[in-house]
Amino acid sequence: MMDVQVEVSTRCNFDCFYCAGRDMVQGDMPLERFRAIVDSHVARYGVPRRLSLQGEGEPTLNRDFFAMAAYARTIGAEPFTITNGTYKYPEHFLADFRQVGVSIDTLDAGEAASIGRHNLERVIEFVENLRGKLDITIFSVAVSASVQPVREWCRKRGLRHMIQPLQGKDDYSRRYPQRIQLHRQPTEYRCHLLENDGMRYYDLSGGEMPCCFIKDASRFESIAALRSILEERKVPLPCAGCAHLR
Ligand SMILES: C[S@@+](CC[C@H](N)C(=O)[O-])C[C@H]1O[C@@H](n2cnc3c(N)ncnc32)[C@H](O)[C@@H]1O
Ligand code: SF4
Ligand code: SF4
């Protein structure tokens, strides 16, 4: 069954140096567009197992964020999100969410601020408020050795911890070119997400994508076009540098 992710906002109160969203058109998805996207997805592909409310922005900044989560539950999908943990009323998550992701790259407040993740104290408080009430996963981008103390902190609290490497795709790495090595060439020209229809991503304007990694929509034509370029054993421009391309 497909997982679905909807970019409900591209706005953010943080400015992480690695975030592609900071260069994108800034805005929130209206509730009506969200419902129309979800309804159309369900009509074409069926009810998704999980419906993630997140893109390259802070989802909780959308004033209809919790109405969207409630709608996901209404259609029979499990709502999910990854948040930067600055939302003031963590208890609001308890109504419709069972699982939530929170991003913490480091426990050093100075380093967090230099990454662009400000107000670490509030983020930690957000997690502590929901711990034991929700299934929480902490997401860390591997920016430095500081992810190890985060791992230990999670272990002590019984929280799942996911470490994500810095994205190597051009869409993201143009913000930190000095940190990324040259792309490796694929050998098989295959992507499991494309082959298995593993997910759908709907961007702020409702554009349908095969994954959440294509941030430069101007280079994206269609899912069918990506498939046919790969069949010619070429790398489609929107997929350049993608770790999923084998
Ligand atoms: C795009 S954010 C959106 C949700 C929310 N604003 C947040 O930061 O948690 C979703 C996840 O992607 C991660 N992320 C963003 N840019 C990344 C990059 N260039 N490389 C790896 N992970 C990245 C974030 O750290 C976060 O855990
Ligand atoms: S908190 Fe999330 S959306 Fe905001 S700048 Fe950081 S990665 Fe981007
Ligand atoms: S960007 Fe990556 S995950 Fe998305 S379709 Fe291309 S190869 Fe697959």
pLDDT digits (tens, 9 = 90+) for 90-114: 999 999 999 999 999 999 999 999 9
Tell me the C-alpha distance between 117 and 113, whole Å. 5
User: According to the model, what pLDDT value does residue 180 have?
Assistant: 78
Q: How many domains does the chain have?
A: 1
Tell me the C-alpha distance between 23 and 64, whole Å. 23
Ligand 2, atom 3, lies closest to the CA of 57
Whole-number Å distance, alpha carbon 232 to ligand 2 midpoint, is 36
Alpha-carbon distances of 165 from 162, 174, 242, rounded to whole Å: 10, 15, 12
| Beta strands, E only, 119-207 | 135-141, 160-164, 199-202
User: According to the model, what pLDDT value does residue 179 have?
Assistant: 86
Tokens, residue 94:
């308890």
- The verdict on residue 143 lying in a domain is yes
Ligand 1, atom 5, lies closest to the CA of 83
pLDDT at 202 over 90: yes
Phi, psi of 168 (to 5 degrees): -95, -10
143: containing domain: 94-165
Residue 135: count of CB within 10 angstroms of its CB: 13
- The verdict on residue 109 lying in a domain is yes
User: According to the model, what pLDDT value does residue 44 have?
Assistant: 96
Output the CA angle 112-117-118, nearest 5 degrees. Answer: 90
- The verdict on residue 46 lying in a domain is no
Ligand 1 pocket test, candidate residues 11, 61, 119, 141, most atoms within 8 A of CB: 141
User: According to the model, what pLDDT value does residue 184 have?
Assistant: 80
- The verdict on residue 199 lying in a domain is no
